[in-house]
Amino acid sequence: AGGRQFADFASVRSAFVSGALDEAQLKEGLILAVNGLLEPVRKHFSEDAEAKRILAQITEWMQEPKSVRASPLRRLNALDETECAVAVVFAPLPTAQPTVGAAADVLRCLATAPNSHKRVLWLSDWSAFSMNCLGGGKTRADDLAAVAAANDVFVAALEAIAPSLMSTVKVVRQSQAILSNPSDYWISVINAGRAHSLSAIRAIDESTQEVGQVITSLMQMADVLSLASATNERSIYCLSEQQPLLQLAADYIGAMKDSMLKAPSVNALPRASMRLKAPHADGAAVPDDDAELMLLDGVPDVTRKMKKAFCEPGNANFCPPLVIVRELVLPYSDSKSLILKRRAEDGGDRTYTLDDSSELAEEFAAGKVHPGDLKPAVRDAVIPILQRAQQKLKEPALAKAEKELVKVAKRNAKGAKVKK
């Protein structure tokens, strides 16, 4: 600068303060120095093919109006806008031991949706990965394969149990939806995080302590945002414990200024517990491997579990066999009925249909139906339903998924024993 070369800042400052280097000379020197630094960068972006491509993309993006670039409505659009009315059910996060109760809850939510709506079952596979639901594999690919296998088995079981209902259902995998527009999806996750404090997320579930739980909560908010529409009706049907977070997401959409989006309605249903054992006096579940019917249970498993199932004479308020009849046997058995076999002196054989569900509960409460007759009848009705699911799982692709799930279940069981 000014015909001189400076090696350090102190020398430049001293020359400028003393007047030996004037303002014009300083600026000219800085221009030459900065251009010298930038020239290799310019050359890279003008000669390297990949760098030229990236620069062109950034330039195009920067030419968008600022209102578009900064919009909080950068989001995934997961549903076909030609579908006028859509009802969405979020499946439970996958597990290595899917229960009959979980399947029945999902089917009830789907069945509750109006027939005028297109039904969608949303599988949150990447959320499950974030939550480490089926972790423990040697690689990330192992864990993702386990999640995919669990979802495949669960959906196949639903299709086998309720083929007519499931024929009206579109299954959407979260990962596939995200990959259709990952940039806008993850921006919507970030925006959801910016709009909510950690305490607001924890207020939904006080057990939220892990980072994965927070990320999963924000992902679900982005999922709900991806379902919203400016013109068409969108509804969510869920269990009561799913409602708080889903409603928070719906309220988030409703509070967006100038969004033009209508928040989906959130419709909550109570869980119909099929747990076979009575809880502790404080309401806590009793740890017991036989406390739940599993989708993969064989005849010996169902027989053993139903024999041990809580079924107190006259107690219709907590009677797992009655719940199984109402939620599984009557709507989804081949005959859509329960055949109760009794001695003639006890009233003789009786067939109950879906319209008789309340009557069966009343007769049990009145002592007209005995546990010794009800439990075998339920056992004999459940076995063919589960056999339909297990038969479907013999298809090659599904057999591979079931094998993967069994492997994960054994690995998890082994890990649990080591922890003890």
Q: How many CA atoms lie less than 13 Å away from 59 in the CB half-sphere?
A: 7
Q: ∠300-305-311 over CA atoms, to 5°?
A: 145
Place of tokens 């989708």: 295
- Segments of the chain scoring below 70 in pLDDT: 64-72, 258, 280-287, 415-420
CA distances from 274 to 54, 142, 237, 342 (A): 55, 31, 20, 24
Q: What is the pLDDT of residue 284?
A: 61
Compute how many other C-beta atoms are within 10 angstroms of the C-beta atom of residue 65: 8
Q: How many CB atoms lie within 10 A of CB 167?
A: 9
Query: Which structure tokens are listed for 68?
Result: 């578009």
Structure tokens at 76: 């995934």
pLDDT of 280: 66
Q: How far is CA 297 from the centre of its chain?
A: 24
**What is d(CA 81, CA 252) in angstroms, rounded to the nearest whole number?**
21
Sequential DSSP letters for 133-202: TT---SSHHHHHHHHHHHHHHHHHHHHHHSHHHHTTEEEEEHHHHHHTSHHHHHHHHHHHHHHS-HHHHH
Are 329 and 381 in contact, with CB atoms under 8 Å apart?
A: yes
Q: What was the pLDDT predicted at 57? A: 83
pTM of the model: 0.79
What is the pLDDT at residue 70?
Answer: 47
- 85-90/118-123 β-pairing: parallel
Q: At what angle do helices 140-161 and 100-112 cross, to 10 degrees?
A: 60
Count of residues for the chain? 420
3-state secondary structure of 267: strand
Output the pLDDT for position 286: 60
Q: What is the DSSP letter of 287?
A: P
Q: Whose structure tokens read 């339909």?
A: 388
pLDDT tens track for 210-239: 888 999 999 999 999 999 998 899 999 999
What pLDDT, on the 0 to 100 scale, is given for residue 418?
A: 46
Strands 265-269 and 118-123: unpaired
Q: Give residues with Cβ within 8 angstroms of 153, minimum separation 6.
A: 98, 295, 296, 393, 398, 401, 402, 405
